[in-house]
Amino acid sequence: MDGAAPVYFLLHVPKTGGQTVQEHLREHLGEGALWLPSPAPAWRRALGLGDPQRPEHPEAVRAVAGHHLRRSHERAFAGRQIRRAVLLREPLSFHLSLYNFRMMNRLRLNRAPVDFEDYLRAAPLDSMAHFILHRWLGTPWPVLALRSAAWKYARLNAVLKDFWFVGDVGLCDALVAELAGDLRIARKARRRNTERAWMGRVKWKPLRVGDLPPGLPARILGANPLDRALWESWKDAGLDAAGVEPVPLPVREGPSFLVHELGRIGR
């Protein structure tokens, strides 16, 4: 493997097609060409320290993927071009998909499902934005609790402008096709970890927007302005992340992030 070839960093935000991309790469790349970092130790995450783990043979790696990808992992590939990619999702669709997935997983484990509004109370506000800030950038959660939404939004937009590919989950096929040309893999990926596949394992009626009480969809969007603005700004970016002009950040409706976090801790 050419150790000077670009390395693709595929940050997997939950419920954005990451398993489809990741398993496609696992299936088609040669041995050692895909690296999936393990979770960093809790104490390193708490202090916002970089993750020093590295693959055994970094010169053979062409793609790095997973939920536990961190920007500090780029140090293992000094001298090589890093092409970063991430997919996002419309916030209401994100929460419904994540809720259905978690409830089906609870049933698989013989645990009772919980009400959707209980799920929302236990979930972080602006989950996608805070996932990127915490997992990718390593920002400690106490710092995130104290920083303003405006600071977070500016930070996220500046970071995403350096990504090679950004877009809505609906651009998953387009991302795979872009990867295929350089990595010489199949241009079409089989869907993985889908709702349909899960419904073959457990008995669950997926919750849809039409099942929600009147006013709740608007309340969810109003409570998650960062995720809403990020998705609106970046959903169509594709390979033109540097050219994106972010939309204005809406004002949060309801409790602040800090107040919500204190409520989550008390649950």
Tokens of 209: 């927007």
The per-residue pLDDT for 50 is 82
- Report the pLDDT averaged over residues 184-202: 85
Structure letter (DSSP) for residue 184: T
CATH match for 7-265 among 3.30.70, 2.60.40, 3.40.50, 3.40.720: 3.40.50
The per-residue pLDDT for 40 is 86
For residue range 135-170, list pLDDT tens digits in order: 999 999 999 999 999 999 999 999 999 999 999 999
The per-residue pLDDT for 2 is 55
Cα→Cα distances 44→11, 51, 67, Å: 19, 7, 16
Question: At residue 245, does pLDDT exceed 50?
Answer: yes
Tokens of 230: 């990020």
Question: At residue 186, does pLDDT exceed 60?
Answer: yes
The per-residue pLDDT for 1 is 47
The per-residue pLDDT for 195 is 81
Question: What span, in angstroms and rounded, lies between the C-alpha atoms of 97 and 103?
Answer: 10
**Banded pLDDT at 47 (limits 50, 70, 90):** confident
Question: What span, in angstroms and rounded, lies between the C-alpha atoms of 127 and 231?
Answer: 12
Lowest-confidence region among 34-48, 87-101, 234-248: 34-48
For residue range 27-41, list pLDDT tens digits in order: 999 889 999 999 988
- Report the pLDDT averaged over residues 223-246: 98
For residue range 88-121, list pLDDT tens digits in order: 999 999 999 999 999 999 999 999 999 999 999 9
The per-residue pLDDT for 200 is 80
pTM: 0.94
Rounded to the nearest integer, the mean pLDDT of the chain is 93
Phi-psi region of 79 (alpha: psi -120 to 50; beta: other; left: phi over 0): left
User: How many angstroms from the chain centroid is the CA of residue 212?
Assistant: 24
Lowest-confidence region among 54-58, 79-83, 190-194: 190-194
